Structure 1
Amino acid sequence: MSYRSHRLRPTAFAVAILCAAPHVFADDNVLSNVNVTATSDTSTLQSYRVPSTGTGALGDRSVLDTPFSETAITAKQIADQQSNQISEVFKNDASVTAYGNGYAGESSGISIRGMQLDALNNVKIDGLATPVWGSDLPLEVFEQVELLKGLSGFMYGFGAPGGIVNYVLKRPTNAPYRSVTLGYESDGILKAAADIGGRFDDNRFGYRVNAIQEQGDTAVDSGYVKRSTVSAAMDMRITPDLVWSVDALYNKRHVDGAYYGVILGQDYGLPVAEPVKIPSALDGSQRLASPFTGYETSYRVAGTDLAWSINPQWDARFSYRYSWQDRENRDSAIFLTDNSGGYSELQWGGYSIYKYQTAQAQLNGHLETGSIKHELVMGVAWQQQDSNYPNQSDSAGSAELGSGNIYNMTVFTNPDTYYTSATYLESRTVQKSLFASDTVKFNDQWSTILGLRYNKFDQENYDTTGATTSTYDRSPVTPTLALIYKPVQQVSLYGSYVESLEQGGTAPVYATNANESLPPLKSRQYEVGVKGEYQNWGGSAALFRINRGLEFVNSSQTFVQDGRTRYQGLELNGSVIVAKNWTLTGSTMWLDAENVEASSDINGKRAYGAPRFQASANVEYTVPQIDKLSLHAGAQYVGDRALEADNSNIAPSYTLYDLGARYQTAWNNTRVTLRLNLDNVTNEKYWLTSWGFILNQGEPRTVKASAQFDF
């Protein structure tokens, strides 16, 4: 991985570039699992809504029929926000907190309800597992991104209790679709994207192809990114009731000048004269990592699906997906050694490979017993996860670069650390599942959901010789129960209970039990809420309580499971057309996250990384004097967060402001959409927190511009 000394500069089209994810005209075949909103420009509110989302073992359901809190962001909204990272996709949802930066750090990342997602278990593509360790998926190739908040044990099996992010791939369109987008992002990132879809003459075969190239200097001093993405999805209508589809995705992303995180010396077990405190936040454009540090991630996914409409009451789906992610990293960590800004930089070289295979067969049906209606979902699933790591010691690919002060960064010499790409199978996890649910509709107002999932979980760990070092197996049954009441068609009230198991953590390298894998943790969630959806407004409120097993590095520097963390809170979300041409959206979360039944030094302390309060608001104005011109402004507030389990350091709160404009016109029979966004208008300096000991810079003021041409 080499540092490129050249600097790409913005060209003359600084008002016409960036972002992809153009809107799609989706296949309306009844067997398709893709649901897309209309493209009408008469209402931003309507164009951002989705009719249904995927909920795993509950099947596809409308928002009002889902007894859990969820959010779905369409490709159009992603394009209008010019989102490039998952944290930007959900920035207007107060339940979602960013903890990573994919341009200055390893990757973008989010916490939900104060809990970080597990990058190896909590991310899906079309409902099937895929790894995103230290990686960002290319948003341009997805129709929508769905977020299920809270526990998901019944719906998806093992996973951290924060929630599930499900990426829905773009699928063939019925009408011919051709779109090209040119984009720019400060300080000098240029992007070109193409999106084409349609059907061949006989309408039996459909296709959708996306290609993206992104390259240039990031907003971080000496930062550089290069990305290449290609995706393809095709289907064949074997008969009107039987559709076979295949898809593939390739994404390669290279970043220079990236770091793992800023770490207070004592949190890593380093000797310090006195405990180091969180320093004042740095400008997001300031270089922290040496220019030659960074990483490169390659991501390959292939899947196939057979959907069969047996009759009007029953349909079946058989799916398989294979994912391969390999990652070469030579990023560094910044260890703060005193309270004056002194630091040491340590570079790690590593190479890892994650291979996933997932297969699922699902049957959905409707039947009646007298006046009672049943919506049945049943299925079987199999998943294998292989984690491969270097077959040499950490020290072989690491180097201490030197010491300096974060307020006057030092340029160190590149040690050209070498890390072999030879790996060994470190762990294999196999899950076999049976699941079934029954949505019982007593009448138009009352319904219940009863569901059970049996999950056989087997994990084996190996050493570099292939010998088994440890094994773990468990066969839990995770239930879900829910009651839904609809006083009118547009409103639903619900209460639900769900359980979940998550894979136990692995002790970090600085712990006394480094690399030890701990057993799975059990969580429980109780939630009550209300949802409403009318033509000109919609909203939701949810009260929740989650009990989760607690893992942390204790005062003896040992990674342990001790006690539990209780998360309880209130979420409010709403969108409304307040007046002609004015649309307002808002979101708030109050969260009480506390460690209970734990050892004395952390019992009663706040859960690390969880803000007590978070809020966002966004207003959009359609200018009546200029047809197809929209202006918008937004704000996001994130409360302070504990950095460590013992709350010895608290990261301050921060507020971000955004501005944007969108203009649609026509040129030579081509629809043209121009977008301009300014994120972090005031250039707020702030810290992101993660993993109970890591700080990352927040992103600086950023200009994004794009021109989308639909032919």
Structure 2
Amino acid sequence: MSRWQWLLLSSATAVSSPIVFASTNAVAQSPTSEEQIIVTADASSPHSDSAGGSGFVADDIELGPLGNKQWIDTPYSSNTVSQQVIKNQQAKSVNELLKYAPSTQMEARGGLDVGRPQSRGMEGSVVANSRLDGLNIVSTTAFPVEMLERLDVVNSLTGALYGPASPAGQFNFVQKRPTPDAFHSVTLNYQGRSAWSGHIDLGDTVGENKQFGYRLNLLDEDGEGDVVGSTLRRKLAALALDWTIRPGTQLQFNASHYEFIQKGYPGGFSYSDNIKLPKAPDPQNKNLSLATSGEDLTTDTISTKLINYFTPDWYLTTAVGYQQADRAMRNVTNKIADNQGTIDRSISGATAAGRFRVLSDLMTLNGHFTTGSWQHDIALSTTGYRQTNYSATSKGATYDLGSTSMYDPDAMIEPSDGKIEAGGERYKSGISSQQSFTVGDTIAFNSQWSAMLFLSQSWMETKSYAKTGEESSQNNQQGLSPEAALIYKITPDVMTYISYADSLEMGDTAPDEANNAGQTLDPFRSQQLELGVKVSAGNMNYGAALFRLQRPFAYVNDNNDFLEDGDQLNKGLELTATGNIWSTLNIYSGVTLLDPKLEDTGEEETTNKRVVGVPKVQGNILMEYNLPSLPSVVYSANVHYTGKRAANDTNTSWADSYTTLDLGVRYNTRIKNVDSTWRVGVTNVTDEHYWASIFPGDINGSGGSESAFLGSGREIRASVTFNF
């Protein structure tokens, strides 16, 4: 255990003031009086976050310009992974959260910690599909889940609400906010082979009128991961401040710094179309990686938000955020040479770390009024971002590490003339920006019938730059994105809906090998038709959504021209069931049945073929149970299933289905008037070897090698949390 981890533990245990364990919800909602306008948190009992099924049922969700809405009232299929689930399942990454939602996957593209979250089999973008408190952020960098109150996933086409984006849904990370009363918590954690961590979570609201609130999260983790000789190091400092300037007006401030180092783990495996993807090897075989290879990531984020109620029915939200993500990545490249698992290995020398900068903005005016018997909830909003990319001015040399079998690999040695750490200079390689103006109305005709109508106008621009600093290309695009939904409540607890969305997305850019390299195509338009039903019965929430989602497909044709020709058409059914199903048995479950196909691509070998890496069936069930006579001990089991997936565009190669099992137990007790929760869990109990992520060499269909990344092996995790 490092010196910093002991300091974290010691400083937390030194706190002796009484506190109340709190679950935060900092979203402003329409109040009954001005004195109740800003809601900061909901106090709960000390053990509520560790009780069986804690955090399984989410009654509300944040939906961009709509604000915070009741789950039963929204015409969207959605999933929420709460802070309680994150803590009790001892999750450490976004990839580990995605398995609980039946329609989401992580497309690795460099690794599972730097991948792109996606939903319904559609690939997400680097920025447009991911948000932190409603503001755009970089998705392709490691994210500290310890600072989260929850993750809201909207499995839908959302351009009318959020602006142009891939039809991969929206992933909104909601930060922890100040608690109404003093809250001090410390967690000591063990995982892998010898990786220890200390996590402090402090919150309170102070001042003569309780107008100042704070929430501080500190994390330090260091040690050896679940691969012999590997390195796992994480450091986090995250601060959230609230200032209630007056009743109905609150200023929020957030800042975080996160360092993530993971080395000594296997990299990706590439293969050509004529290779049958072999069975996955052991991800914990130390000879599949170098102790010096891996990711060194640093992410800094700062944001501020002002919520101001003019009246109980009208309020304005204004926010701005900035993020910088530096990525030094240097992994062993494995090229699968034959169907028996022979791999050719290489590694590059030092290059400059890539850098992403995102400046995002948000302003929304929400109001409620009546016209006759109709109730209106309107929203006027503008949101957008400016993303600046920096790339290395030169590439390091490539070093051949020889050929071996992936199932019994030879050990590798760092090249004597190679550099372990990334270095060098970078240049501004591109800027992408977009801004949208949205207007919408949710109309309640009576207690049963309502409709939601939204329309956004968006402006997009991309610029590319040469290494000399000169602008090499520029493209400007604009367009409308409409959405409409009709809602019928059979009873107050049973809702049905039908919705249609037509969403704009920045057109793809031709790759370097195409005749029209660098050309950005006209904006893509995706369409979605969805029918759904939601039921809130007792302590259970049930959901079903039937959808048809279509996106244009661009590729390099036989004449070497990059163009739009064909579509990706995904049709599917999502089913979810969450809550207390019987006695002390709680479930968080879902399954998605999907038919993902490429249509009319202009090439016979790829038309009407399955989309690479997308399963027809994916499901997950998390169960928690405690004996009624012994409520302080909670047993948990999580079963995840991913079906067979196409491993190339021509569907001549396939990745096997896989099933993983996680088991855990936790115990709640008091030690000298200190509430504590002790957790022990084993992930991937059966040590399943599987390909966690598979994707084509280019998302635009330009050809090239496909890539596959391994899922994690068996790992033991243990933690203890003290609440003072």
Is 1:618 the equivalent of 2:622?
A: yes
1:641 to 645, 651, 654: 645
2:174 to 168, 179, 195: 168
Other-structure match for 1:373: 375
1:550 to 553, 559, 566: 553
Other-structure match for 1:94: 102
User: 1:164 Cα shift?
Assistant: 1.1
**Closer, same or farther in 2 for the Cα pair 1:124/1:658, shift >3 Å?**
same
> What is the alpha-carbon distance in structure 2 between the residues aligned to residue 258 and residue 227 of structure 1?
16
> What is the alpha-carbon distance in structure 1 between the residues aligned to residue 535 and residue 549 of structure 2?
24
**Closer, same or farther in 2 for the Cα pair 1:377/1:461, shift >3 Å?**
same
Aligned pairs, number: 680
1:525 to 523, 528, 534: 528
Question: Which amino acid in 2 is paired with 1:656?
Answer: T
**Closer, same or farther in 2 for the Cα pair 1:44/1:444, shift >3 Å?**
farther
- SS of 1:88's equivalent in the other structure is helix
Is 1:678 the equivalent of 2:677?
A: no
Moved more, 414-423 or 464-473: 414-423
CA contact (8 A) 1:56 1:127 kept: yes
1:609-662: CA deviations, max 9, x gaps? Answer: 111112222332112232311112221111011122222211010111121112
Other-structure match for 1:270: none
Question: Which amino acid in 2 is paired with 1:331?
Answer: N
Other-structure match for 1:698: 711
> What is the alpha-carbon distance in structure 1 between the residues aligned to residue 627 and residue 483 of structure 2?
47
Question: Which amino acid in 1 is paired with 2:203?
Answer: G
- SS of 2:631's equivalent in the other structure is coil
User: 1:41 Cα shift?
Assistant: 6.8
CA contact (8 A) 2:231 2:264 kept: yes
1:114-158: CA deviations, max 9, x gaps? Answer: 22322322110001101132x221000011111011212112112
Q: Residues 180-191 of structure 1 correspond to what in structure 2 (within 5 A)?
A: 180-191=186-197
1:145 to 151, 158, 170: 151
| Structure-1-length-normalised TM-score | 0.90
Is 1:159 the equivalent of 2:172?
A: no
> What is the alpha-carbon distance in structure 1 between the residues aligned to residue 686 and residue 506 of structure 2?
41
CA contact (8 A) 2:432 2:462 kept: yes
User: 1:23 Cα shift?
Assistant: 6.0
User: 1:331 Cα shift?
Assistant: 1.6
CA contact (8 A) 2:40 2:179 kept: no
- SS of 2:268's equivalent in the other structure is strand
Other-structure match for 2:18: none
> What is the alpha-carbon distance in structure 2 between the residues aligned to residue 705 and residue 438 of structure 1?
48
CA contact (8 A) 1:353 1:388 kept: yes
User: 1:511 Cα shift?
Assistant: 7.6
> What is the alpha-carbon distance in structure 2 between the residues aligned to residue 514 and residue 226 of structure 1?
40
> What is the alpha-carbon distance in structure 2 between the residues aligned to residue 219 and residue 558 of structure 1?
46
User: 1:466 Cα shift?
Assistant: 1.9
> What is the alpha-carbon distance in structure 2 between the residues aligned to residue 708 and residue 35 of structure 1?
21
Moved more, 610-619 or 666-675: 610-619
- SS of 1:527's equivalent in the other structure is strand
Question: Which amino acid in 2 is paired with 1:283?
Answer: D
> What is the alpha-carbon distance in structure 1 between the residues aligned to residue 372 and residue 50 of structure 2?
44
**Closer, same or farther in 2 for the Cα pair 1:43/1:676, shift >3 Å?**
closer
CA contact (8 A) 2:163 2:384 kept: no
> What is the alpha-carbon distance in structure 1 between the residues aligned to residue 312 and residue 379 of structure 2?
15
**Closer, same or farther in 2 for the Cα pair 1:632/1:474, shift >3 Å?**
same
User: 1:334 Cα shift?
Assistant: 0.5
Other-structure match for 2:722: 709
Question: Which amino acid in 1 is paired with 2:188?
Answer: L
CA contact (8 A) 2:390 2:430 kept: yes
1:668-706: CA deviations, max 9, x gaps? Answer: 211101111111111111112333211111111111111
> What is the alpha-carbon distance in structure 1 between the residues aligned to residue 265 and residue 562 of structure 2?
27
CA contact (8 A) 1:101 1:698 kept: no
Is 1:262 the equivalent of 2:264?
A: no
Other-structure match for 1:414: 414
Question: Which amino acid in 2 is paired with 1:625?
Answer: S
**Closer, same or farther in 2 for the Cα pair 1:544/1:71, shift >3 Å?**
same
Other-structure match for 1:603: 607
CA contact (8 A) 1:154 1:451 kept: yes
User: 1:576 Cα shift?
Assistant: 4.7
**Closer, same or farther in 2 for the Cα pair 1:367/1:29, shift >3 Å?**
closer
> What is the alpha-carbon distance in structure 2 between the residues aligned to residue 557 and residue 665 of structure 1?
67
1:62 to 65, 70, 74: 70
Q: Residues 152-231 of structure 1 correspond to what in structure 2 (within 5 A)?
A: 152-202=158-208, 203-231=210-238
Moved more, 537-546 or 118-127: 118-127
Question: Which amino acid in 1 is paired with 2:570?
Answer: Y
Other-structure match for 1:362: 364
Other-structure match for 2:339: 339
RMSD: 2.6
Is 1:290 the equivalent of 2:290?
A: yes
Is 1:116 the equivalent of 2:123?
A: yes
Other-structure match for 1:302: 302
> What is the alpha-carbon distance in structure 1 between the residues aligned to residue 278 and residue 563 of structure 2?
28
Question: Which amino acid in 1 is paired with 2:712?
Answer: E
- SS of 2:378's equivalent in the other structure is strand
Question: Which amino acid in 2 is paired with 1:112?
Answer: S
Moved more, 558-567 or 501-510: 501-510
> What is the alpha-carbon distance in structure 2 between the residues aligned to residue 325 and residue 377 of structure 1?
32
CA contact (8 A) 1:37 1:49 kept: no
CA contact (8 A) 2:344 2:403 kept: yes
> What is the alpha-carbon distance in structure 1 between the residues aligned to residue 546 and residue 117 of structure 2?
21
Structure 1, unmatched stretches of 5+, are 1-5, 7-12, 14-21, 268-274
**Closer, same or farther in 2 for the Cα pair 1:213/1:577, shift >3 Å?**
same
User: 1:493 Cα shift?
Assistant: 0.5
**Closer, same or farther in 2 for the Cα pair 1:480/1:248, shift >3 Å?**
same
Other-structure match for 1:16: none
CA contact (8 A) 2:612 2:648 kept: yes
> What is the alpha-carbon distance in structure 2 between the residues aligned to residue 213 and residue 194 of structure 1?
9
**Closer, same or farther in 2 for the Cα pair 1:398/1:151, shift >3 Å?**
farther
Question: Which amino acid in 2 is paired with 1:562?
Answer: D
> What is the alpha-carbon distance in structure 2 between the residues aligned to residue 313 and residue 606 of structure 1?
49
User: 1:159 Cα shift?
Assistant: 1.7
> What is the alpha-carbon distance in structure 1 between the residues aligned to residue 446 and residue 122 of structure 2?
37
CA contact (8 A) 1:37 1:47 kept: no
CA contact (8 A) 1:495 1:528 kept: yes
CA contact (8 A) 2:160 2:501 kept: yes
User: 1:326 Cα shift?
Assistant: 0.9
Question: Which amino acid in 1 is paired with 2:217?
Answer: N
Other-structure match for 2:450: 447
1:454-505: CA deviations, max 9, x gaps? Answer: 1011111111112222211111110010011111111210111112233344
- SS of 1:438's equivalent in the other structure is strand
| Structure-2-length-normalised TM-score | 0.89
Question: Which amino acid in 2 is paired with 1:471?
Answer: Q
CA contact (8 A) 2:25 2:39 kept: no
> What is the alpha-carbon distance in structure 2 between the residues aligned to residue 82 and residue 366 of structure 1?
41
Is 1:428 the equivalent of 2:431?
A: yes
Question: Which amino acid in 1 is paired with 2:551?
Answer: R
> What is the alpha-carbon distance in structure 2 between the residues aligned to residue 667 and residue 610 of structure 1?
48
> What is the alpha-carbon distance in structure 1 between the residues aligned to residue 481 and residue 460 of structure 2?
13
